[in-house]
Amino acid sequence: MEKIYKIIIADDSSLFLEGLNFIINRNKQFEVIDTCKNGIELINSPFLLKSDIVLSDIEMPEMNGIEAAKRINYLNPNLPLIALTMFLEKVYLRTIVEAGFKGFIYKPKVYIELFDIIDRVLKNQYVFPGYLTL
């Protein structure tokens, strides 16, 4: 039997969260085990230690994804994190790598790039587009 990878998604947009949850759960190789609306919910998720990968928006209220990733990475540096955002002009490669993210997806391209980037990150590759600046 093939391994089913457990995923947590954090995003403050309920509509985006529902759509991403739906798309991921249609793929039999992955299962969304928790969804969070901000970084505080993410770092306090009871499923965090059971997850294989985390997809997190970097712009969220209460605690952003950068701060949440730093805390998760401190406690569990082997948990792969993928950054999600709509705001390319606010994203700096150095910041997201230092926070512990191993991949990046621009939200308008998420449905095209999602599974390829997840697969590559799960193979311990760093996946960042060339248009991100240091």
Q: What is the CATH number of the domain that holds 97?
A: 3.40.50.2300
Q: What is the span of the domain harbouring residue 27?
A: 5-122
Burial 98-110 (b: 16+ CB within 10 A, else e): ebbbbbbbbbeeb
In a domain, 99, yes or no: yes
pLDDT value for 87: 78
The Cα 58–Cα 11 span in angstroms is: 8
The Cα 108–Cα 60 span in angstroms is: 17
In a domain, 112, yes or no: yes
- At 48-85, the pLDDT tens digits run 999 999 999 999 999 999 999 999 999 999 999 999 98
Domain count across the chain: 1
In a domain, 134, yes or no: no
Q: What is the pLDDT along the chain (134 residues), one digit of tens a residue?
A: 689 999 999 999 999 999 999 999 999 999 999 999 999 999 999 999 999 999 999 999 999 999 999 999 999 999 999 999 887 776 678 899 999 999 999 999 999 999 999 999 999 999 988 776 66
Burial 53-64 (b: 16+ CB within 10 A, else e): bbbbbbebeebb
In a domain, 100, yes or no: yes
In a domain, 30, yes or no: yes
pTM: 0.94
Short-list 77, 87, 40, 43, CA closest to 62: 40
Short-list 94, 107, 97, CA closest to 134: 94
